[in-house]
Amino acid sequence: MLSLLIGTSVFAANPSPDILRSDDTKSVASYRFLGADEKLLDDVQRGCFEYLWHEVRPPAYVVKDRKKAPVASVAAVGFQLSAIPIGVERGWITRDEGETRALAILDALLGRDDNRHEGIFLHFVDLETAGLSTTAYEVLASTIDTSLLLPGAMTVSEYFGGKVRERADQMLREANWRAFVDKASGLVCMGWRPDDRSKMNGSGKYHKSLWQLSSAEEHLVYWLAIGSPVEAHAADPKSYYKLRREIKQHGDMQPYVVSWSGTLFHYFFDHCWIDYRSLAADNPKEFGVDAPRVDWFENSRRAVLTHRQRCIEAAKQFKTFGPNVWGQSACDGPDGYAVPHVGPNISNDDKWFGGIVAPYAAASAIMFTPEESMAAIREMRSLKDENGNPLIWRDPAKGGYGFADSFNLDRGFVSDDYVGIDEGPMILAIENARTGLIWRLFMQHPASQRAVGRLKLSKAADR
């Protein structure tokens, strides 16, 4: 067994052929939250919803990339759209208000011809028009950001139907994934960039980097690309199984397929919509690919538990961490945007960023680790500053958005910004853990049904 020394921890490459379902996965499915926890989860979700509902500008109503940003992120818009049915079901807005908002967003995005290339949307768009922004950090028609946008369109399509469904169907039809497929490898590239960032109707270049690892972002990209309603736009289902599956483990904990950095969003972004819990382990050999079969829900459960354990061990170095305060993921940091690396991972690196914790990380992992995540939510909600005031909690009942994006006790840092793609997974993941609403809506959409069929996935025997 090959061992790789990373920092002070040894990670073993595990040749085990399959990662199969476990009794632990079944127990997660039957977990029930107590009354006090339900109230706390209401408050956390409400904070996320308030951000996604209010950090917008008419007439487009696309949500800000982050609270201090001058632009919208279409990735955040995907979470924003999916949060609308949650707001309706929880009584925070009316159904008419939700449908009106969803239609306004979709109309704004589809009403422009300068915000996409071959149906793949720009990462950043103008807040008021949803078109090409003059203040965007980059001008890139992004396959991953579109892969976070489209699930939102699919969710509201199933929830509202009617004109919302018509707009979502148009968006799905126009996304030409095959235009972004690298002919040599059959893999999807990361995007297309115009030669002149001031216009989208001129020449440009496809990104040389490809989506080639088996983690959350790739799963969403290929799920949408394979499930396209237009055959000429769809990617080959085999491409999903060609994604690299590298298995490692920490100490005597269970092995799992690792991502490049090991940051937690790599293990929960896809599960915000794809209900892998209801699916059996996949089978690459059916497509002629020699790779291990993987139950992706179980894989993420193991990844989260290992990540938590590593944070507990790192508490010797960083005072922010503890058994109930853990979770590293991409977030706002004292020195700018931070993307931690936490092994075991493919990069063979640990980058703790001073032990910064992003509350949305543990909260979004609640789908896999309800008991551990709930304990983390309680603990972080109760943290106080030196004056006895909540340290990282901003009460939604008083106009706050709930948890701060990140904090670091060693640096005395609490973020005063909010990030759309951090607020988004938190509200969706908690809803899935509580009711399964987003899973049901997304999985019943015809595009998801096509993806399931084309990937030859089967229903889990115990679900």
What angle is formed at CA 16 by the lines to CA 11 and CA 22, rounded to 5 degrees? 95
**pLDDT tens readout for residues 383-417:** 999 999 999 999 999 999 999 999 999 999 999 99
Residue 213: pLDDT band (50, 70, 90) is: very high
Q: Rounded to the nearest 5 degrees, what angle is found at the Cα of 175, between the Cα atoms of 169 and 178?
A: 135
Q: Which residues pair with 204 in a beta bridge?
A: 194
pLDDT reported for residue 373: 98
Q: How many CA atoms lie within 13 A of 117 on its CB side?
A: 28
The residues facing 205 across adjacent strands are 193
Residue 97 predicted with pLDDT over 80: yes
Distance of CA 405 to the CA centre of its chain: 15
* pLDDT given for residue 12 in this prediction: 56
Mean pLDDT of the chain: 94
Which residue shows structure tokens 């967003």?
Answer: 105
pLDDT of amino acid 10: 40
Of residues 392 and 461, more confidently modeled:
392
Question: What is residue 108's three-state secondary structure?
Answer: helix
Residue 110 and residue 90: Cα distance in Å, rounded? 29
Which residue shows structure tokens 């950095």?
Answer: 261
User: Token digits for 47?
Assistant: 């904070």
Residue 196, φ and ψ in degrees, nearest 5: -115, 110
On the question of a cis peptide bond just before residue 425, with omega within 30 degrees of 0, the verdict is no
Q: Mapping DSSP to helix (H, G, I), strand (E, B) and coil, where does residue 247 land?
A: strand
pLDDT for position 461: 80
**pLDDT confidence bin for 51, thresholds 50/70/90:** very high
Sign of CA dihedral 280, 375, 380, 262: negative
**How many other C-beta atoms can be found within 10 angstroms of the C-beta atom of residue 53?**
19
Residue 3: is its pLDDT beyond 70? no
CB 155 within 8 A of CB 273: yes
Q: Which amino acid is at 98?
A: G
Beta strands in 71-217 (DSSP E): 71-73, 116-117, 120-121, 124-126, 141-142, 191-194, 204-206
pLDDT for residue 434: 97
**Confidence class for position 13, pLDDT limits 50, 70, 90:** low
Which structural domains are found in the chain, ordered by start?
A: 3-454 (1.50.10.140)
Would you place residue 142 in the very low, low, confident or very high pLDDT band (cuts 50, 70, 90)? very high
In the structure, what pLDDT confidence band is assigned to residue 45 with cuts at 50, 70 and 90? very high
Buried b / exposed e along 382-403 (16+ C-beta atoms within 10 A): ebeeeeeebbbbbebeeebbbb
| pLDDT band for position 6 (cuts 50, 70, 90) | very low
**390 three-state secondary structure:** strand
Q: What is the pLDDT of residues 144-178, one digit of tens each?
A: 999 999 999 999 999 999 999 999 999 999 999 99
Supply the pLDDT for residue 11: 53
pTM (2 d.p.) = 0.95
pLDDT single digits (tens) 235-274: 999 999 999 999 999 999 999 999 999 999 999 999 999 9
pLDDT category at 374 given cuts 50, 70, 90 is very high
Q: Is 325 helix (H, G, I), strand (E, B) or coil?
A: strand
Backbone angle region of 298, left / alpha / beta, with phi > 0 → left and psi within -120 to 50 → alpha: alpha
- Which residues fall within 8 angstroms of residue 106, CB to CB, at 6 or more apart? 81, 153, 156, 164, 167, 168, 171
Residue 443 parent element (H or E):
helix 437-444
State the pLDDT confidence band at 28, using cuts at 50, 70 and 90: confident
366: nearest Cα among 433, 276, 296:
433
